[in-house]
Homo-oligomer: A and B are copies of this chain.
Amino acid sequence: MKLATLKDGSRDGRLIVVTRDLTQYADAGEVARTLQAALDDWPATAPKLTRLAESLEAGSVPSEPFDPRHVHSPLPRAYQWADGSAYVNHVELVRRARNADMPTTFWTDPLMYQGGSDSFLAPCDPILAADERFGIDMEGEVAVIVDDVAMGATSRQAREAIRLVMLVNDVSLRGLIPDELAKGFGFFQSKPSSSFSPVAVTVDELGDAWKDGKVHLPLLVSMNGIPFGRANAGRDMTFDFGQLVSHAAKTRPLAAGSIIGSGTVSNKRDGGPGKPIVEGGDGYSCIAEIRMIETIEHGGPKTPYLHFGDRVRIEMKDKHGASIFGAIEQTVRRYAGDERQ
């Protein structure tokens, strides 16, 4: 089934079930008011939501047209957002671009950072930043939402706790990263609010594309309508979602509704870095990656980070060409003071 969260003026929105083709929705309030409430009691709510989704597909419950501009991220705020960096190819490029060796343990011990989860952006909300010089970048990723995971869960146990899959735009402020990481405490100001796809789906919706804890489909990233990336999320993913969730749960339990991300999807090409789509490659899921390749090849980056007014679109299609999660589609805008209050 496919779940989404309708904006209704409240902080957590209202849970809805969406048709497979993303055209209609039915209110799920009788099962659970919010997605977090559904996740808090998944064994009880999931069967009811599944029945509602079946009735919706059959046209036997009242429905409304689905519009991704009217939804929040599936969890408008969450108790946890932890983002891995499972495409180690990408990490290796980051290091090469600054002439640093990558420790070999990076192939066996996942990188993961704790992200802010209190105020996500909706999938069609603008990306607000005070200054273009922050180096505004998108990062196209896949993420899972888990049920309760016990401390010390194995990768297999962790994979069984995966309840929903969605896409992420892990917005990054590249200009703030070097100084922040140099302080030694990880990302904070360099990782502003992320946004997630309009719809989160159960793994069965992915069919054959969900295998070994990975989503084996291209992640379609475009900028201002021009294709920028189509890297396959199932390729070159060194750690599957089971391993990432298990890593997160090594020393503490994870609560239902925790979101674990894959990190920027990135594919190698002939054992080396990828190529732009215009050159016949599969492109990139973030601007930083092409800039790193430009730095390695030409001594410096050429592609600029995002400007105010630029549009980013992140989507994934099934083998028949149908959008699975709906599209994250955001425009970068200048932040000119508090627009919330």
Contact = CB atoms under 8 A, between A and B. Distances in A.
15 contacts: A80-B118, A82-B188, A103-B183, A106-B183, A109-B183, A113-B186, A113-B188, A116-B252, A118-B254, A118-B255, A130-B151, A150-B341, A181-B185, A193-B252, A253-B340
A255 B77 contact: yes
A12 to B, nearest CB: 9
Interface stretch (A17-25, A66-74, A243-251): A243-251
A331 B338 CA distance: 44
A236 interface: no
Interface in A28-74: 40
A185 to B, nearest CB: 4
A112 B190 CA distance: 12
B173 A254 contact: no
Given A113-B188, A338-B150, A134 B251 contact: yes
Instruction: Please state the number of chain copies in the assembly.
Output: 2
Given A130-B251, A181-B185, 12 more contacts: A11-B255, A79-B117, A103-B182, A114-B186, A118-B254, A119-B254, A148-B341, A150-B337, A173-B251, A192-B251, A253-B338, A253-B340
A185 B106 CA distance: 12
Contacts of A112: 185, 188
SS class, residues of chain A in contact with chain B = loop
Contacts of A128: 151
A6 to B, nearest CB: 18
